[in-house]
């Protein structure tokens, strides 16, 4: 009876919106809200690898518009990108002394950024100085990267026009199209797996028919070999019977 009374009193307190009930609810949701806030901040932070190269994503690319940056766009399946990796990491250690940030973008994971920067070839390298973007087209070596920045060779290169800037509305639309194209490819792949085309069905059926025909030919060949082995034995038996009758 005492436990029943305590349960009823607790329900009554919650129904009357007592301060104690409100305090317990705030204590319950405060850790959850803090976790959500920390996770959102972490997703927009720039991740740094062991070599000092910063990972640029759709969530944090705007940090590249402040200060001086050298950014490369690569893909895991690109042989030229794999060759550039060692030189890029060497340049990252040299750039730290100059106050230059070095970043990289994986276009397979960030298709929106490849559209925003209008990347059509790999690897592609950009120099960014206070929002002014220039494409690097010189030798891809650590010393050349260092000289390009330290000797201010980037001043000899025309920056991208305003309409091609990553911050322009047009490039924002391009980023959305590139992301949409990735989802379309995924949907087409899923649809092809779930509902294969007629041509694919015909090929699968033809393959099944061919395999069945091969199995039949193999079984017939085995039966023929067995009959050939039995023929000499039957002949011997007949000859033996003929000798006995004679």
Catalytic residues: 78, 81
Can you give the three-state secondary structure of 48-117, one letter per residue?
A: ECCCCCEECCCCCHHHHHCCEEEEEEECCCCHHHHHHHHHHHHHHHHHHHHCCEEEEEECCCCHHHHHHC
Burial of 133 from C-beta contacts in 10 A (0-12 / 13-18 / 19+)? buried
Distance of CA 242 to the CA centre of its chain: 83
Cβ–Cβ < 8 Å for 88, 138: no
Contact assessment for residue 92 and residue 142, using Cβ atoms and an 8 Å cutoff: no
- 103: which strand partners? 54, 71
**Which of 144, 150, 158, 166 shows the shortest CA–CA distance to 84?**
144
Query: Taking CA 210 as the corner, what is the angle to CA 206 and CA 215, rounded to the nearest 5 degrees?
Result: 150
Residue pair 135/157 in contact (Cβ under 8 Å)? The answer is yes
- Within the chain, strands assigned E span 47-48, 54-55, 68-74, 101-106, 124-129, 132-136
3-class secondary structure, 159 = coil
């Amino acid at each position: 009876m005492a436990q029943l009374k305590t349960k009823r009193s607790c329900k009554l307190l919650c129904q009357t919106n007592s301060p104690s009930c409100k305090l317990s609810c705030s204590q319950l949701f405060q850790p959850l809200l803090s976790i959500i806030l920390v996770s959102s901040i972490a997703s927009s932070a720039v991740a740094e690898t062991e070599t000092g190269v910063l990972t640029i994503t759709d969530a944090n690319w705007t940090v590249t518009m402040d200060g001086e940056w050298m950014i490369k766009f690569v893909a895991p399946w690109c042989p030229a990108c794999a060759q550039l990796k060692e030189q890029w990491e060497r340049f990252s250690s040299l750039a730290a002394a100059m106050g230059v940030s070095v970043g990289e973008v994986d276009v397979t994971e960030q298709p929106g950024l490849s559209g925003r920067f209008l990347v059509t070839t790999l690897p592609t390298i950009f120099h960014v100085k206070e929002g002014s973007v220039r494409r690097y087209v010189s030798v891809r070596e650590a010393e050349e990267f260092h000289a390009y920045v330290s000797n201010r060779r980037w001043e000899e290169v025309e920056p991208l026009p305003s309409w091609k800037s990553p911050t322009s509305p047009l490039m924002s639309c391009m980023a959305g199209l590139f992301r949409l194209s990735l989802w379309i490819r995924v949907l087409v792949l899923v649809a092809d797996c779930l509902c294969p085309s007629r041509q694919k069905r015909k090929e699968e059926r033809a393959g099944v028919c061919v395999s069945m025909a091969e199995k039949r030919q193999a079984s017939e060949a085995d039966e023929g070999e067995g009959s050939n082995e039995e023929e000499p034995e039957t002949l011997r038996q007949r000859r033996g019977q003929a000798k006995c009758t004679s």
